[in-house]
A and B are shown apart, each in its own frame.
Chain A
Amino acid sequence: MAGETAECRMRLYEYRDIGGGILGDLPRHIKAASPQLLTLHIMGSPDSAGAFSEIDAPTSVHNVDTAVAIETISSSGDDGNVSAADALMAISIIGINGSDKMITVQNIATSAAWTTFQLETELWKNIFHCYGSLWGDLDKDPAGDVDVRTIADTVIVELAAGDNEGNGAAFVVPDGHVCMLYGGHLRRLTTTGAWANDEGIRIRIVYIDAVDALIAAADRAINWLEFEIAGQYGKQDLDIPKGHVFESGTQIIHQHASRVDGTENYDLTLQYLIWKK
């Protein structure tokens, strides 16, 4: 990768799935709340020595007070519900539903040709990410661009043809919940040659509190946690620390930038614990 590119794999795990594993050292009162774990694995490359830009942004931000229905549609008739003849048969969505719960829902195609839009039953306040999750015999990735969109046809997140991982690396802490950065890892990568001493990769976890979101963007008190790996002699990876807590309703966006070189590459994993207050 070079230039402005990024791919984020976002997944949401329920406590029952991971409770006995990495969450072993959690305080008991958090365990008692059965926290969910949201994981992000980002492979990216920022544009040359420029300002910070959002990593793998959703096509449009779906952030509404009242949960509403959404639609799914493919640009190819080869995506659909015929397992013997179709490619993609289902798209999973991560977001917040009408009960203020972060969930993953698999939306299964209901017609042979998914080019007819399909109204889904789950209602959403936010949608963060999508990924392919069921395939037929024709191919193991989408034949067309598969969109998750509002009823007014505004695309929220999308699977590009041939790509099972959709866009979207930002999320919102659901109302009545709290979120804790639960560690991660950043590794600086290179495709060619050696680094110069003034080069480096910069990552920001930007968080906008719910109270800030109510005022004009220019007036928001936007904060961020910044992580940087630079130079040619130091360690080229770092651990993201656990413990920073984000309030209910906080919007969390991930950004990246390069110090000098346009061919900086990195590999970033982030984990967020989310539990009901």
Chain B
Amino acid sequence: MEKYTKEYVLKKIENCQGLVETAISEAQRDVYQGYLDFWQGKDDATAAAEEKRIVEEELKKLHEAEARKKAAEEVEKAIELVEITPAQEMKYAEEFETINPNKHAYRYLDGEKLQTNAFVEFITLKLKPQ
């Protein structure tokens, strides 16, 4: 399909409507009506193409979001499947605190030893399949 801008087609339609209104005979009106139908068809085609483009973009966004969600779920599942031994955790904690000297791998809450969020992220990245 040829590329027409919306403004171009609308000007054509406007001109054709003027010609249909001022036609001096039935035969001439028929010819101009033919031109009008032609450009209204282009307008519909332009509008339909625009609508199709918007729907396709939305679908693409939706598919991308679904793909991202699925990938994240797979990573989480993979992490859950991997059991970390206390020795591995200790090794990761040392590595984490070496890389990030101003961060701690653990924090204490009411006497309970908990992993810090940064350390959890670190382990998650370590366990994430490449």
Q: Which residues of A contact B (CB under 8 A)?
A: 64-69, 117, 119, 123, 151-152
> In the complex, what distance in Å separates the CA atom of A119 from the CA atom of B11?
11
B31 interface neighbour in A66, A117, A119, Cβ under 8 Å: A66
A69 interface neighbour in B12, B19, B30, Cβ under 8 Å: B19
Q: Which residue of B lies closest to A118 (CB)?
A: B15
Q: Which residues of B contact A (CB under 8 A)?
A: 11-12, 15-16, 19, 25, 27-28, 30-32, 35, 38
Chain A contact residues: over half helix, strand or loop, or mixed?
strand
Q: A69-B19, A119-B15 are in contact. Are A152 and B28 (CB under 8 A)?
A: no
> In the complex, what distance in Å separates the CA atom of A68 from the CA atom of B19?
9
For A66, the chain B residues whose CB sits under 8 A away are 25, 27-28, 30-31
Q: Which residue of B lies closest to A152 (CB)?
A: B38
For A69, the chain B residues whose CB sits under 8 A away are 19
Beyond A66-B28, A151-B32, 4 additional pairs, beta carbon < 8 A = A64-B31, A69-B19, A119-B15, A119-B19
Can you list 13 residue pairs at the A/B interface with Cβ under 8 Å? A64-B31, A66-B25, A66-B28, A66-B30, A68-B32, A69-B19, A123-B28, A151-B12, A151-B15, A151-B16, A151-B32, A151-B35, A152-B38
> In the complex, what distance in Å separates the CA atom of A117 from the CA atom of B25?
25
> In the complex, what distance in Å separates the CA atom of A66 from the CA atom of B29?
10
Q: Which residue of B lies closest to A64 (CB)?
A: B31
Least distance between A117 CB and chain B CB atoms (Å): 8
Q: Which residue of B lies closest to A151 (CB)?
A: B35
> In the complex, what distance in Å separates the CA atom of A68 from the CA atom of B35?
11
Whether A152 lies near B35 (C-beta < 8 A) is yes
Whether B12 lies near A68 (C-beta < 8 A) is no
Whether A68 lies near B15 (C-beta < 8 A) is no
Q: Which residue of A lies closest to B38 (CB)?
A: A152
> In the complex, what distance in Å separates the CA atom of A123 from the CA atom of B15?
14
For B11, the chain A residues whose CB sits under 8 A away are 117
> In the complex, what distance in Å separates the CA atom of A66 from the CA atom of B31?
8
